[in-house]
Amino acid sequence: MATKKRCSVRLLVFGASLRDGSMNDRLASLAAAVVEEKGGSVERASMKDFECPPYDLDVEVSKGLPAGAQALHDKLVATDGFMIASPEYNASMPGILKNTIDWVSRFRPQPFNGKQAFLMAASPSMTGGKIGLWSLRQPLEHLGARVYPDMFALAQAHHAFDASGRIADSKLQNWFETTIECFIDLVEASKHYPHLKKQWVEFLGERPDEETTRVEMGETAAAV
Ligand SMILES: Cc1cc2nc3c(=O)[nH]c(=O)nc-3n(C[C@H](O)[C@H](O)[C@H](O)COP(=O)(O)O)c2cc1C
């Protein structure tokens, strides 16, 4: 149940695993339920919606941006922030997720810029996939997303859920809920105070000539 009245906050929530029965997808479902309990609304998606071929500039030039990238772009534009539950593969993020981020980074305006983000992971390991989230934070921050400082990693996730899909450990469930509520508060604040957005976003590696948008400016920087 919502604890207070909010202005509308809409969040994209997805798990970054392709497999059926994904623990990260279960965690994403739980996060979506908590967002709604706390008064937000949810755009629920799956990594399958965002699958893209391997990034290739030649393909981009000849065929344009793929449907999976377009789908993530459109959902980012239509929401106030996003929450990803990502598996950890070899102490990093899944390649398919990084590949989709790379494709989506080619849109202008670039849709990660200025979005609030919350990162989660579920893993059978004792660390819960936290190391992978540090690697996911890096490209998102580079692209101007405001990644929430606290990240949630569900260790031993294969034993962690109860029959109703909640986290069986009530203290951990409470930690999860209160952290998400704080995140929603920040997303709401960012709607009232748009200057919370990063003001300068550089796209490294692009040619610094006039034809290329090298820097995207926020409102404060643009006013100078
Ligand atoms: C290629 C590969 C690498 C993995 N590396 C890690 C890892 O570094 N750390 C970890 O906690 N789990 C690792 N795992 C285990 C995953 O956490 C586990 O498969 C998990 O179920 C994946 O998430 P999902 O259930 O959402 O698909 C790895 C799994 C695969 C297939």
Residue 14 DSSP SS3? strand
CB 103 within 8 Å of CB 14? no
Average pLDDT, 10 consecutive residues per value, the chain (224 residues):
71 98 98 97 98 97 97 98 98 98 95 96 97 98 95 98 98 98 96 73 59 61 59
Alpha-carbon distance values, 137 to 80, 185, 209, 213 (Å): 18, 20, 29, 23
CA of 87 to the centre of ligand 1 (A): 6
Give the number of other CB atoms < 10 A from CB of residue 184: 23
Ligand 1 centroid–CA 202 distance in Å is: 32
Would you state the pLDDT for residue 1? 46
Give the closest residue to 30 by CA, choosing from 52, 13, 10.
Answer: 13
Structural domain boundaries in the chain: 10-198
pLDDT at site 129: 97
Contact 24, 85 (CB under 8 A): yes
* Pocket of ligand 1, beta carbon within 6 A: 17, 19, 22-24, 87-91, 123-125, 129
Q: Which residues contact 77 (CB under 8 A, 6 or more apart)?
A: 111
d(CA 31, CA 148): 15
Q: How far apart are CA 57 and CA 127, in angstroms?
A: 36
Q: Which of 26, 88, 126 to mutate to test the pocket of ligand 1 (most atoms within 8 A of CB)?
A: 88
Q: Is the peptide bond before 208 cis (omega within 30 degrees of 0)?
A: no
Instruction: Give the residue, by CA position, lying nearest to ligand 1 atom 1.
Output: 89
pLDDT of the residue at 35: 98
In the chain, count H helices and then E strands. Answer: 7, 8
- Asked whether the whole model's pTM tops 0.85, one would answer yes
Q: Is 10-198 assigned to CATH 3.40.50.360?
A: yes
Strands 41-46 vs 10-15: parallel, antiparallel or unpaired: parallel
> Which residue has 């934070």 as its token pair?
137
194 secondary structure, DSSP code: G
User: Under a CB-based contact definition with an 8 Å cutoff, are residues 129 and 86 in contact?
Assistant: yes
Mutation probe of ligand 1 site: the residue of 26, 30, 89 with most atoms within 8 A of C-beta:
89
